[in-house]
Structure 1
């Protein structure tokens, strides 16, 4: 994991499924846990979903909040 991985969580959107177009960082815990049980997709998306599931499971979602502000400021 690196800083770029964390930034991707607050900028990339889920490309398909029930939560299509929702930021990966905003996916509900039960959805992330479903992937953990049934298997994460292959590739970069799966790696990021797995990282987000670990962050959510360990109650660390607040760590992403400063990145959200940084990302919004970058687009202004």
Structure 2
């Protein structure tokens, strides 16, 4: 039986395997900061965090783990 893998997780895994910069999905970053996915999207725009674009998707992006970690440390 084939196990379902979330599309965002699949893209994240591929990106992390081919790039030295570690990334998080919007949901993962939001959970680290205690925010919902929608709240995190607003937070990203308000604080001008780096969005790592996903090919073939205008509205989806990944976030740099290093930026999220520095925010968590300062809280």
- Give the alignment's TM-score, normalised by structure 2: 0.27
Higher-Rg structure is: 2
Which structure shows the bigger proportion of residues in strand conformation?
2
Which structure shows the bigger proportion of residues in helix conformation?
1
